[in-house]
Amino acid sequence: MYDAMKHRSQWQETAISGEWKFLWADVKWVREYMDSFRFKADQVVNHFRNHFELTRKDNLVKNVNRMKRQLQRAGAAVEAERYNFLPSSYVLPGDYGLFVEHFKASPDETWIMKPIGKAQGRGIFLFRKLSEIQQWRRTLDGATSDKAETYVVQRYIENPYTIGGKKFDCRLYVLVSSFSPLQVWLYRAGFARFSGTRYEASKGTVSNLEMHLTNVSIQKSTAAYLSGQEVKWGITELKLFLASKHGMPTVEKCWARIQAMIVRSLLAVQKSMIQSKNCVELYGYDVILDDVLSPWLLEVNASPSLSATTEDDYQLKFSLVSDMLSVVEQVKWQKEVSQAVGGFDLVWDGGPVVDPSGAERTCRLGGWHELTRRSVILQHTECTP
């Protein structure tokens, strides 16, 4: 194991015009300057040029759907099924006709609309009738094509796993240190975010975003949040609770499926990403569990919040950033690859990670079938105890 504490560097802030090794940039800087910026060989920035292939909601849907079609054409129907980790999703306005066809075939489903260019729950709404999105549709019809806002509409998960009657989702942190070959690190820590209102799956609750959305920006006005009640659990706390209800083997299987889902989402965008030795990226994955502990991917964030609301939150995020820099230091400058660096575990390195003993340490994605010289198809999943 790589000792992150022993090798931790003393980082100091400096000007971008001077000598530096790591640039923590926001996505606005990436859009405006990255294509023209000349990096030195040992300089690293915290985004890939076209991270939006994964982190923009519409692109995520398109890339995952493309991967499924690619697998189906190659005769890998079983593996294609394993890419069904997104709820049924359509990009509007382009897929409006297909969406209406699905909607009419399943009239009892609840749907959720998400604008692709907003965060923190802004612009999201739930609906059960086509008439409820007519105002959005009329606004769209009156706009020119370059002004029409794009939305993703998804089938709403109406049977979420609840604790104490409250819905939650999980924020997990994933570091990609390379897309070619794909090198994926999963952080052991993370947290579950709870709603402040008990969940009810009824037609009359679709307008109650405090019940349905777990974003802190939505929950901070609820009575539970204002009273100081716990609205977050650490991932370890969540796993222990689930193990007490369902047994640890069931929880391990659930987390193996989450890990496999994360890797597959990255494989779905791998061919689209612009690889650069100067780039790494820390993603915030939002995952929800349904009432049979099946994971669903809600979205992937390019700039997960690093602000803290509690002391535990501060410690988690401080360690997250510090351990990320330790991975960068090892992989980019020392040219070493350990299986664990601080709180990060290497879960994919051009393929599944195997301990030197030969025993699988993580969920094993195997059975390679070559599609082209630079891409592979996963044929089956085997999760070891």
Strands 162-163 and 89-92: unpaired
Q: Cβ(166)–Cβ(194) under 8 Å? A: yes
For the chain, what are the domain ranges? 4-85+169-187+232-382, 88-156
**pLDDT at residue 51 in the model:** 94
Q: What is the largest distance, in Å, between two alpha-carbon atoms of the chain? A: 64
- Say what the pLDDT of residue 231 is: 79
Q: What per-residue confidence (pLDDT) applies to 365? A: 39
* Contacts of 383 by beta carbon, 8 Å cutoff, 6+ apart: 252, 253, 256, 257, 260, 363, 364
Non-local CB neighbours of 26 within 8 Å, separated by 6+ positions: 303
Location of structure tokens 């193990």: 243
pLDDT tens, residue order, the chain (385 aa): 445 455 455 788 888 888 899 999 999 999 899 989 999 999 999 999 999 999 999 999 999 999 999 999 999 999 999 999 999 999 988 898 999 999 999 888 889 888 886 665 567 888 888 887 766 666 665 554 455 578 899 999 999 999 999 999 999 999 999 999 999 999 999 999 998 888 887 665 665 666 567 766 555 555 555 455 557 899 999 999 999 999 999 999 999 999 999 999 999 999 999 999 999 999 999 999 999 999 999 999 999 999 887 888 899 999 999 999 999 999 999 988 889 999 999 999 998 776 555 444 444 333 322 222 222 333 333 333 2
For 21, the token pair is: 């090794």
Q: Is the separation of the CB atoms in 369 and 379 below 8 Å?
A: yes
Q: What's the confidence (pLDDT) of residue 132?
A: 77
Confidence at residue 378, expressed as pLDDT on a 0 to 100 scale: 36
**Do the domains 88-156 and 4-85+169-187+232-382 match in fold?**
no
Give the pLDDT score at 182: 96
CATH of domain 88-156: 3.30.1490.20
Dist CA 372 CA 370 (whole Å)? 6
pLDDT at 138: 65
CATH topology of domain 4-85+169-187+232-382: D-amino Acid Aminotransferase; Chain A, domain 1 (3.30.470)
